[in-house]
Amino acid sequence: MTRIAILHPSNLLGRELRETLDRRQGLWQELLLLTTHKEEVGNLTEVRGAAAMVQSYTPEALAGIDLVFLCGPMAANRPVLEALPPGATAVILSPDAGGEEGRALVAEVNLVDAYRGELLLNPHPAAIGLAQLLHPLGDLGLRSAAATVVLPTSMREQDALDELFDQTRAILTFADKKPQTIFGRQMAFNLVPAPEDGLQATALAGLVGVILGDGPEISVQCLEAGIFHSLSISLHLRFAGDPGLEAVRAAFEDHPILELEDGDEAPGPIDVTGRDEVLIGRIVRDPQLPGAYWIWAVLDNLTRGGALNAVAILEKVLDSPPAS
């Protein structure tokens, strides 16, 4: 009997993970909801159509658990990791977690490295998207990749979404502004550098490099926009030679996760919210640099950039032997 636990199941990613697992009931027989936050204890939710309650975490609660998903920030998850039973498998979903926290895994890239009894990392959504976009290009002589990632407010959890909504409504109705407790500034209709308290862009680039192995040189900058869900990636690629536009496009065709959008309008964050795929919009040559191309892509940070990748890790772990 496969027994799974979710730590901190009430945050945005925890809820998305629980709902995704509910649609994949054949993978597990028992799902336990745990938290280290007192205010979360006793929250009622639903599992398999029945009422379920979030329980207080204790080390004993993980006895006999096959795999535990750890949502929420690393500060809340690290004490639980330190008390894991011997041989337990943990999948860390903390967006601020770097590659030192566990083996970073991305669907259709390196899931072959998933084993039971290890600390595994479901990486930052931007790392997931970048790894999936860059991996198919490895055989084309990709030399370097520079990415600008635009992060949504949902990376900061529900309170930030509520504040963004209040700001937007106040601006549109000419109402008095409320205190800016999350952002400290107007975020609605705005675009600014990403906050310093998350995973830094240099660490993010390094994480993608670890996932890809011997891949291209990678540089990343992160911006934060006044949008609710889904992140955007503007990607500049330079190849050792010039593979040609058709070869670049062909590398993404028939991919189970990547979807080429051929319409006149490139997709934006609103078009991919709730979707399972990474949507690739325009692929164009850089007219200034031979062998260089621009790619625009979007993905939902909670589905493809979060829960779906975590469940793919679970599937691989359940089919894998213990780590040697």
Task: Kindly indicate the confidence band of residue 20, based on its pLDDT and cuts at 50, 70 and 90.
Answer: very high
CA 317, CA 31: separation in Å to the nearest integer?
A: 16
| Mean pLDDT in residue range 265-287 | 93
CA 324, CA 53: separation in Å to the nearest integer?
A: 36
Q: What is the largest CA-CA distance in the chain?
A: 63
CA quadruple 187, 188, 194, 196: dihedral sign: positive
- Is-contact 302 93, C-beta < 8 A? no
CA 6, CA 66: separation in Å to the nearest integer?
A: 11
The DSSP line for 111-166 is GGG--BTSEEE---HHHHHHHHHHGGGGGGTEEEEEEEEEE-GGGG-HHHHHHHHH
CATH code 2.60.40.1180 for 3-123+306-318: no
Q: What is the pLDDT of residue 202?
A: 86
Q: What is the pLDDT of residue 285?
A: 95
CA 195, CA 315: separation in Å to the nearest integer?
A: 34
- State the CB neighbour count (10 A cutoff) for residue 34: 22
At residue 151, does pLDDT exceed 70? Answer: yes
CA 293, CA 157: separation in Å to the nearest integer?
A: 34
At residue 83, does pLDDT exceed 90? Answer: no
CA 232, CA 248: separation in Å to the nearest integer?
A: 19
What is the Cα Rg of the chain in Å?
A: 20
pLDDT > 70 fraction of the chain, expressed in percent and rounded: 98
At residue 241, does pLDDT exceed 80? Answer: yes
Q: How far from each other are the two terminal CA atoms of the chain, in whole angstroms?
A: 23
Q: Using alpha carbons, select from 153, 155, 172 the residue that is nearest to residue 163.
A: 153
Q: What is the pLDDT of residue 267?
A: 93
Q: What is the pLDDT of residue 214?
A: 82
Domain spans, the chain: 3-123+306-318, 128-300
Q: Using alpha carbons, select from 276, 166, 298 the residue that is nearest to residue 229.
A: 298
Asked whether this chain's domains 3-123+306-318 and 128-300 adopt the same fold, the reply is no
The DSSP line for 301-320 is TTIIIIIHHHHHHHHHHHTS
At residue 213, does pLDDT exceed 80? Answer: yes
CA 251, CA 136: separation in Å to the nearest integer?
A: 6
Q: What is the pLDDT of residue 43?
A: 84
Determine phi and psi for 288, rounding to 5 degrees.
-90, -20
Q: What is the pLDDT of residue 184?
A: 87
Q: Which of 90-99, 168-177, 253-262, 299-308 has the lowest mean pLDDT?
A: 168-177
Q: Where are the alpha helices (DSSP H) in the chain?
A: 12-22, 74-82, 125-134, 158-173, 201-212, 245-252, 269-272, 308-318
CA 47, CA 37: separation in Å to the nearest integer?
A: 20
Question: 128-300 architecture in CATH?
Answer: 2-Layer Sandwich (3.30)
- Residues with Cβ within 8 Å of 81's Cβ and at least 6 positions away in sequence, in order, are 70, 90, 92, 119
| Mean pLDDT in residue range 245-261 | 94
| Mean pLDDT in residue range 277-291 | 94
The burial of 51, by beta-carbon neighbours within 10 Å (0-12 exposed, 13-18 middle, 19 or more buried), is given as: exposed
At residue 215, does pLDDT exceed 90? Answer: no
